[in-house]
Amino acid sequence: SAHILPELSHGQSFHLAFSRADCVYFLGGHSLSSDSRPPQLFCLHVELLQGSPLISCESLNTGMSISSAIITRTGPTHRYIILGGYELDSQKRLECSTVTLDEKGIHIDHLEPPTWIPDIIHSRTWFGGSVGEGSILLGVPT
């Protein structure tokens, strides 16, 4: 079935998504309608009822201005590390954060970033992904 969510109707891409139980959180992202990265956080509640699912979306006040970041899970609990990403088209986010999902919701905290090598600091683009619990592969074009 298809559902229309007014909170997400402006188009959003390159966001981060986390889930726990009946909630999916969408953090940051690039807004297609305004060509910007607004600091946003949405919580999508999904109840699987007999018949069709009941879906609601809530805009939360604790978002981040981030897109195209790398996330990795750090163990069997709902704890993740966010590395890098972009704040603006040409401004990399040289920061790290932790995300924890629990019964009360989502918690985002600053994490001391790694020591960035000059190739990463000065490169306009970078790419990578999670390669397992707590491990990330990060590369820059040469």
The 10s digit of each residue's pLDDT in 121-135 is 988 888 899 998 889
Residues 84, 93 contacting (CB under 8 angstroms): yes
Kindly give, in sequence order, each residue whose CB lies less than 8 Å from that of residue 68, ignoring residues fewer than 6 positions away: 14, 30, 85, 86
Q: What CA–CA distance (Å, rounded) separates 137 from 71?
A: 11
User: What values do phi and psi take at 120, rounded to 5?
Assistant: -75, -45
Note the pTM of the prediction, 2 decimals.
0.86
Domain residue limits, the chain: 6-139
Give the number of C-alpha atoms closer than 13 A to the C-alpha of residue 71, restricted to the C-beta side: 21
Architecture of domain 6-139: 6 Propeller (2.120)
Q: Name 108's bridge partners.
A: 99
Tens digit of each residue's pLDDT (9 = 90 or more) over 23-52: 999 999 888 778 888 888 999 999 988 888
Tens digit of each residue's pLDDT (9 = 90 or more) over 85-113: 988 777 889 999 999 999 999 999 999 99
